[in-house]
Amino acid sequence: MKFLYSDKKSGLTATMDLNDEMISLLLNKKIGDEIDGTALGLTGYKLKITGGTDSSGFPLEASISGQIKTKVIRERLNKNKEKINKRITVRGNVISSDVKQVSALITEYGSKPIEELFTAKKKEEENDKKN
> What is the model's pLDDT at position 13?
86
Q: Which domain holds residue 58?
A: 2-63+94-130
Instruction: Please indicate, yes or no, if residue 30 is contained in any of the structural domains.
Output: yes
Does 74 fall in a domain? no
- Using one digit for the tens of pLDDT, what is the confidence trace for 17-50? 998 888 998 999 999 999 998 888 888 899 999 9
Integer Cα distance of 30 and 1 in angstroms: 16
User: What is the pLDDT at residue 11?
Assistant: 85
Domain count along the chain: 1
List, in sequence order, every beta strand (DSSP E) within 22-68.
34-36, 46-54
Rounded Cα distance between 103 and 21, Å, is 18
pLDDT of residue 125: 52
Please report whether residue 80 resides in a domain: no
Residue 78 domain-assigned (yes or no): no
Show Cβ contacts of residue 47 under 8 Å, excluding neighbours closer than 6 positions. Answer: 5, 34, 35, 37, 40, 104, 105, 106, 107
SS3 for 94? strand
Q: Is residue 56 part of a domain?
A: yes
- For the segment 114-126, the average pLDDT, to the nearest whole number, is 60
Mean pLDDT of all residues in the chain? 86
Residue 71 forms part of a structural domain: no
Q: Band the pLDDT of 15: cuts 50, 70, 90.
A: confident
Predicted TM-score (pTM) of this structure: 0.80
Residue 75 belongs to some domain of the structure: no
Note whether residue 81 is domain-resident. no
